[in-house]
Amino acid sequence: MSTENSAGGRSGTPEIQVRGLHKSFGDNEVLRGIDLEVGAGEVVCVIGPSGSGKSTLLRCVNLLEEPTQGQVFVSGTEVTDPDVDIDAVRRRIGMVFQQFNLFPHLTVTDNLTLPQRRVLGRDKAQAAEVAAENLRRVGLSEKATAYPGSLSGGQQQRVAIARALAMGPRVMLFDEPTSALDPELVGDVLAVMRMLADEGMTMMVVTHEMSFAREVADRVVFMDGGVVVEQGAPAQVIGAPTHERTRHFLSRLLDPAMADVEDAPRKSP
């Protein structure tokens, strides 16, 4: 985990820059002017209630969603420039979703080698070597010839991370990577993410895993209603938030039994 300032990360050079970002779906304005930077080697965890715009923000970074207004830069290249080679930019960005999106009819190794060969033009032997190295990194070398259906959810997600790493990204985006997992499988996935943080990977992580955010993040960003409400070091945002909305969210997340009575669902009369 970095000890550098939140604006610049470890090297002082932003890998991700978001300026005045807006995103609307019809009349629904999901993002309402986001300004954010992620420094090289920095781990930024984005937290907030459902519907706050966290995942939309992440998807705008690699243009899976096209912003309505504003600019996004990745490694100095403006992703939102109409003339950008978005495929070239996306080669620098690894994306890990809630669902694993593995090809069920392909082995684990083939799931890792196919995108390398098609997108990066690597030959079969080189792609297989890179796949084996990244399976080793996530602790799944013994599953190289297995099919996704024979793996647990946690193992499938680790394969998905290895697949993203095999493309050699400069930035990794994680969209609630443990939300679809049984609780006992979460730890192995988070351990891989901790390893990447220790290696200096630039990471932007949408998560509800407060222990991960507290221990691994350089900075925590709390979003609500399509805006950044507050951000700072984990000890400040999680341990001593300054905004009432942040305090309310964390109190319900960290101690659901203490939620106000008026927040509980009521049965119809």
Going by C-alpha positions, the residue among 181, 242, 235 that lies closest to residue 45 is 235
pLDDT tens digit sequence for 89-112: 989 999 999 888 999 999 999 999
Distance from chain centroid for Cα 154: 16
Specify whether the CB–CB gap between 136 and 130 falls below 8 A.
no
Burial 56-66 (b: 16+ CB within 10 A, else e): bbbbbbbbebe
Going by C-alpha positions, the residue among 181, 207, 204 that lies closest to residue 94 is 204
Specify whether the CB–CB gap between 65 and 58 falls below 8 A.
no
pLDDT tens digit sequence for 164-180: 999 999 999 999 999 88
Question: 28 falls in which pLDDT band (50, 70, 90)?
Answer: very high
Task: Write down how long the chain is.
Answer: 269
- pLDDT reported for residue 4: 41
Specify whether the CB–CB gap between 80 and 103 falls below 8 A.
no
Tell me the CA end-to-end span of the chain in Å, nearest whole number: 52
Is residue 265 predicted with pLDDT exceeding 70? no
- pLDDT reported for residue 226: 96
pTM: 0.89
Is residue 201 predicted with pLDDT exceeding 80? yes
Q: Is the dihedral of CA 247, 175, 186, 14 positive or negative?
A: negative
Q: Is the dihedral of CA 25, 51, 203, 148 positive or negative?
A: negative
Burial 9-25 (b: 16+ CB within 10 A, else e): bbeeebbbbbeebbbee
- pLDDT reported for residue 2: 39
Which residues, at least 6 apart from 119, have a Cβ–Cβ distance to it below 8 Å?
87, 91, 167
Question: 252 falls in which pLDDT band (50, 70, 90)?
Answer: confident
